[in-house]
């Protein structure tokens, strides 16, 4: 049980890091010179931003619940 929670925590943390880094920034910042890595990989698509926003929320919830579960055990 503990090993499964640790594996879930590691996968969710790595996925959360990737999802946050792939999102584009909310403001242009430096005249748009710095953009999210998702924009360079997938092109400029608004649908991808919405997908990454939902994925970030889901991964954050999984991370929170798995870390709470580990703390309780």
**What gap in Å lies between CA 39 and CA 54, rounded to an integer?**
17
Q: With bands split at pLDDT 50, 70 and 90, how would you rate the model's confidence at 2?
A: very high
What's residue 50's pLDDT? 83
Number of Cβ within a 10 Å radius of residue 67: 15
What's residue 70's pLDDT? 95
**What gap in Å lies between CA 27 and CA 34, rounded to an integer?**
10
Whether 3 contacts 43, CB under 8 Å:
no
Q: What is the pLDDT of residues 15-56, one digit of tens each?
A: 999 999 888 776 644 444 555 555 555 555 667 788 888 999
Q: Enumerate the domain spans of the chain.
A: 9-16+37-73
Cα 70 to Cα 8, 13, 20, 56, distances in angstroms:
10, 14, 24, 21
């Amino acid at each position: 049980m503990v090993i499964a929670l640790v594996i879930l925590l590691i996968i969710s943390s790595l996925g959360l890091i990737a999802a946050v880094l792939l999102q584009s920034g909310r403001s242009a910042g430096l005249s748009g010179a710095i953009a999210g890595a998702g924009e360079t990989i997938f092109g400029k698509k608004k649908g991808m931003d919405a997908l990454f926003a939902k994925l970030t929320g889901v991964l954050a919830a999984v991370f929170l619940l798995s870390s709470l579960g580990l703390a309780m055990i």
